[in-house]
Amino acid sequence: MRKIKELGEFGLIHQLSSRLKFRAPDSILGIGDDCAVYPVKSGMKEVISTDALVEGVHFKLSTTTPEALGRKALSVSLSDIAAMGGTPKRVLVTLGIPENFSVSFLDKLYSGFNTICNRFKVELAGGDTVSSPKCFFINVSVIGEANRVFTRQGAKPGDLIFVTGTLGDSSLGLKLLNRTKKDGSNDYKFLTEKHLDPTARVHEAGILARSKINITSMIDISDGLVQDLYHICKASKVGARIYEDQLPRSPEFARTCKKRSIPPLPLILNGGEDYELLFTLPADGAKNLNRQFLKAEVLVTQIGEIALKPRKVLLKMKDGAQNILSDSEGFNHF
Amino acid sequence: MRKIKELGEFGLIHQLSSRLKFRAPDSILGIGDDCAVYPVKSGMKEVISTDALVEGVHFKLSTTTPEALGRKALSVSLSDIAAMGGTPKRVLVTLGIPENFSVSFLDKLYSGFNTICNRFKVELAGGDTVSSPKCFFINVSVIGEANRVFTRQGAKPGDLIFVTGTLGDSSLGLKLLNRTKKDGSNDYKFLTEKHLDPTARVHEAGILARSKINITSMIDISDGLVQDLYHICKASKVGARIYEDQLPRSPEFARTCKKRSIPPLPLILNGGEDYELLFTLPADGAKNLNRQFLKAEVLVTQIGEIALKPRKVLLKMKDGAQNILSDSEGFNHF
């Protein structure tokens, strides 16, 4: 096992960056100087965000692979750009590396970075690799561009609420990883992969951004459906009503909850890390939206509507009962 | 002592960001959504970089204050932008926070961020605050703009080598912090502050960028004079000759080395963390350079010249002897 010390800092950076195949056609200067340099495209807006993953808090090395971790670290940040309707263009990656880590582990991590960079045409523009004896962490800053920007603010009473994909898979996957022995079933594989290797909805954000649909607010679901819907409600000074029987769930999710007697609703509402897009639009845009997503073969579901009553999210149950959902049940980092 | 848990993640972010007074006049959306949003200025280039500081590796909480640490975390990143001749515009700050940290500590850290943001008109555009039970770290990504960009590549044989400020103060300051008891002298204060609270040479980079001087290469001295001069030599495929008696040292540095019998040369050559600018230009630009720096009341010193022989840095001693300097004596992160 090759140790990092043998390569030295600059040797390590050289070896790892040679893994990265995607170079932006317009980049002026990539990795290797004090900064990376890019031209700016006039008329576009710059969207920027940063996210960190810490071992033991956001992931365990015992339940993931370095490749999947590399993909997830980038996907989580790219998801923030997608949440604004932007296109991610470049990332800066910082690694805090404990002493006993092998070069081969970092190589595989970079292979994961490379997969996402290639898939979304994102350039890894630079970074910092530092010694961090007591904990392994990854920080990803991402710079994207946007023409239209979708924020959390702007949802209006009467707007319809939509979500891409299905909900709860990631948190059920995490539950399986933490609780049970590995299981060879396809359902187990599907759900744990949704947690370990989520897909940033960059393509779906692109569909929305290129469409003429009047998206009034958007966010990505990282903290959990309810918590993130509250973020929209607070920023937009509105409330929301969602319907239990409209919340999209995967067959794998439904089967596994049933088989293991796990109540599905808490996972769907508060599970977090779905990285699906949650957005609102006036009712007259729904037909166009559904047509575009059908054409792209991407699942999108109307789950409720924006209500007048500010800062209150109601859940209408199948049996007709109505619950006020609390906004503090999502993932809290502390 | 108020604990972070009591405020919660969003309360904490709200409290800390209220400390930040500088807002870029052209920003479209600051902290509070999935991304911050900015217009792009056509004709300019974007320069980006990221740097992490890890407790126990890059700083000790026993020898610094949270305010100074906040200032240094930003200054170190801003220095990378200065090294390219750029103007820093916005930063994204990630904090990895152990559980027992107090809100008051973070408040003071942010007060340090605020000082630098105000001084250099840099907006703290967002960030991530995560729980990191085993280690405290700060990651700063910075986005700047540049008209002309100065890279490490482009130094030509015969070019003169210049450095801003004085060398070795920071590493001597670190030595004092690690070795000795606190001492009330002005020299101790000056040197330890140069280590704990360095100034990014943003203004000096601005003088160079606005001038018509043909800067052929530039870097900031973070790893040490020799190591960083080697970076220029490798990128430019040239060598360098520097002169012992021309290396600028502060009176505080000279006095302290003498008083404590510390050999000054290793600190000047390999100390690191000076965050001074090291750059090259053709001889006919020297007069203009000196005039501009004199006018700005900033110290700049010619320390040698670029030589033909590739990848070799020579030191000419006062006694006429000539040493080949090794490129592996600077700060290595592993």
pLDDT band at B310 (very low <50, low <70, confident <90, very high): confident
The whole-chain average pLDDT of chain A stands at 91
Alpha helices in B216-334 (DSSP H): 225-236, 251-259, 264-270, 286-295
Mind telling me how many Å the CA of B189 is from chain A's nearest CA?
Answer: 28
Calculate how close chain B gets to A186, using CA atoms only, in Å: 33
Contact predicate B10/A14, CB 8 Å = no
Q: Where along chain B do its domains lie?
A: 4-146, 160-325
pTM beyond 0.95, yes or no: no
Looking at residues A256-285, what average pLDDT do you find?
96
Looking at CATH, the fold of the domain delimited by A4-146 is given as: 60s Ribosomal Protein L30; Chain: A; (3.30.1330)
In the structure, what pLDDT confidence band is assigned to residue B200 with cuts at 50, 70 and 90?
very high
Residues constituting chain B: 334
Nearest CB to A92 within list B48, B129, B153: B48
- Check CB contact of B92 with chain A, cutoff 8 Å: yes
Q: Over chain B, what is the mean pLDDT?
A: 91
How far B256 CA lies from chain A's nearest CA (Å)?
A: 31
- Decide if A8 touches B, using CB distance below 8 A: yes
| CA nearest to A46 within chain B | B38
What whole-number distance in Å separates Cα of residue B112 and Cα of residue B123? 13
Q: Is B5 on the interface with A (CB under 8 A)?
A: yes
**Residue B127 in contact with partner chain A when CB distance is under 8 A:** yes
Angle, vertex CA B116, rays to CA B115 and CA B122, nearest 5: 120
B 203-242 residues with CB < 8 A to A: 219-220, 235
> Within B260-320, where are the H helices?
264-270, 286-295
Using the predicted structure, report yes or no on whether residue B144 has a pLDDT greater than 90: yes
Helix axes A103-120, A4-17, angle to 10 degrees: 10
Confidence of residue A76 (pLDDT cuts 50, 70, 90): very high
CA distance B53 to chain A (A): 8
- Mutate one of B13, B41, B50 to test the A interface: name it (highest A CB count within 10 A): B50
Residue-wise pLDDT tens digits, A239-250:
999 999 999 999
Q: Which of A16, A61, A128, A138 to mutate to test the interface with B (most CBs of B within 10 A)?
A: A128
pLDDT of the residue at A127: 87
Taking a contact as any Cβ pair under 8 Å apart, which residues of chain B between 159 and 188 contact chain A?
A: none
Q: Do A4-146 and A160-325 come out as alike in CATH topology?
A: no
| pLDDT at residue A200, rounded to an integer | 97
Pick from B8, B96, B149: which is nearest to A137 by CB?
B96
8 Å CB contact of B34 and A146: no
Which residues does chain A have within 8 Å of residue B81's beta carbon, measured at their own beta carbons? 34-35
Model confidence pLDDT, tens digit, residues B8-50 = 777 777 777 777 777 777 777 777 777 888 787 777 889 999 9
Read off the tokens for B311: 């990848």
- Could you give the 3-state DSSP secondary structure of residue A206? helix
Q: State which residue of chain B sits closest to A59, comparing Cα positions.
A: B132
What pLDDT was estimated at residue A184? 86
Quick one: average pLDDT of A133-139?
A: 96
Give me the mean pLDDT over the A119-137 stretch.
93
pLDDT score of B139: 97
- What kind of fold does domain B160-325 have according to CATH? Phosphoribosyl-aminoimidazole Synthetase; Chain A, domain 2 (3.90.650)
Nearest CA in chain B to A231: B33
Residues with Cβ within 8 Å of residue A258, at least 6 apart in sequence: none
CB contacts, 8 Å: A209 with chain B? none
Q: What is the pLDDT of residue B246?
A: 97
Give A171-228 pLDDT, tens digit per residue.
999 999 988 678 889 999 999 999 999 999 999 999 999 999 999 999 999 999 999 9
Radius of gyration over every alpha carbon of chain B, rounded to an integer in angstroms: 21
pLDDT in tens, A288-330: 999 999 999 999 999 999 999 887 999 999 999 999 998 765 5
Rounded to whole angstroms, the Cα distance separating B332 from B328 reads: 8
Pick B29's closest partner by Cβ from A35, A40, A151: A151
Which of A45, A133, A139 comes nearest B56 by C-beta? A133
pLDDT band at residue B259 under the 50/70/90 scheme? very high
Q: Which residue in A16, A77, A139 has the most chain B C-beta atoms within 10 A of its own C-beta, making it the best mutation to test that interface?
A: A139
> What pLDDT sits at residue B244?
96
- Cα–Cα distance for residue pair B250/B267, rounded to 1 Å: 12
Residues B32, B34, B40, B45: is their CA dihedral positive or negative? positive
- State the pLDDT at residue B14: 77
Please give the average per-residue pLDDT across A39-67, as a whole number. Answer: 91
CA B268 to chain A, closest CA, distance in angstroms equals 21
Residues making up chain A, counted from first to last: 334
Q: ipTM score of the complex?
A: 0.91
Tokens (6 digits) for A138? 């990854």
**Residue range A63-90: mean pLDDT, rounded:** 96
**Closest residue of chain A to B86, computed from CA coordinates:** A35
